[in-house]
């Protein structure tokens, strides 16, 4: 995994999947869905996101249903989600989507919105280029990183010849 450098978007505690993938997304063309991410709590936010940006959030990020919220964030261009804690279902959906999501205790105290972070996967630390602060993180297990590096579980299954033709 290469290092990631990106601009921070900061979110509070308990950001749920309904905010990331609101119900209207079920009726929209695939290309339009990402632009409704976080619309209920931050109207217009999705149109300001650039490819490679990073979310830094509080506790319990991704709570809620198993909506394709991680897909929506990835398709918007979010490179990584960093949160104080992440809901288990969202974490697994992130891996399956190929979106890096890491639990990083202390992330909300070391990064402000608009800061630039560098995530170093070899050293397992995040450096805030804007203020010089550093925080360590526990890496994801290698088998999960393999899924993420492949772009998600569907790509792994295709590469292994395990994904048959649809019925």
CA distance 36 to 33: 6
Whole-model pTM? Answer: 0.93
Helices 69-76/88-97 angle, 10° precision: 50
**Token couple for 45:** 């936010």
Across the chain, mean pLDDT equals 94
d(CA 84, CA 103): 6
Q: What percent of the chain has pLDDT over 70?
A: 98
Homologous superfamily (CATH) for 4-159: Aconitase, domain 4 (3.20.19.10)
Give how far the C-alpha of residue 14 lies from the chain's centroid of Cα atoms, to the nearest Å.
15
Which tokens hold the place of 124?
């397992």
From residue 95, give the alpha-carbon distance in Å to each of 6, 23, 35, 49: 20, 22, 22, 21
The 8-class DSSP code of residue 85 comes to S
| CB-CB contact of 1 with 121 (8 Å) | yes
CA-CA distance, 26 to 24, in Å (whole number)?
Answer: 5
Helix (H) or strand (E) holding 147: helix 142-149
Tens digits of per-residue pLDDT, 121-148?
999 999 999 999 999 999 999 999 999 9
Could you give the C-alpha distances from 68 to 104, 106, 124, in angstroms and in order? 23, 27, 28
- Higher-confidence residue of 156 and 84: namely 84
Task: Give the pLDDT confidence of 33-76 residue by residue, as tens digits.
Answer: 999 999 999 999 999 999 999 999 999 999 988 789 999 999 99
- Domain positions in the chain are 4-159
């Amino acid at each position: 995994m290469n290092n990631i450098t990106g601009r921070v978007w900061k979110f509070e505690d308990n950001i749920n999947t309904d905010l990331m993938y609101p119900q209207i997304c079920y009726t929209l063309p695939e290309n339009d869905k990402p632009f409704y991410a976080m619309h209920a709590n931050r109207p217009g936010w999705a149109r300001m996101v650039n490819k490679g940006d990073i979310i830094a959030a509080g506790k319990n990020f991704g709570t809620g249903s198993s909506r394709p919220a991680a897909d929506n964030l990835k398709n918007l261009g979010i490179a990584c989600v960093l949160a104080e804690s992440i809901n288990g279902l969202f974490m697994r959906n992130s891996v399956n989507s190929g979106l890096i999501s890491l639990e990083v205790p202390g992330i909300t105290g070391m990064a402000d919105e608009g800061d630039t972070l560098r995530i170093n996967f070899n050293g397992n630390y995040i450096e805030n280029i804007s203020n010089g602060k550093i925080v360590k993180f526990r890496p994801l297990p290698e088998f999960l990183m393999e899924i993420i590096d492949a772009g998600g579980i569907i790509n792994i299954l295709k590469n292994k010849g395990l994904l048959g033709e649809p019925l």
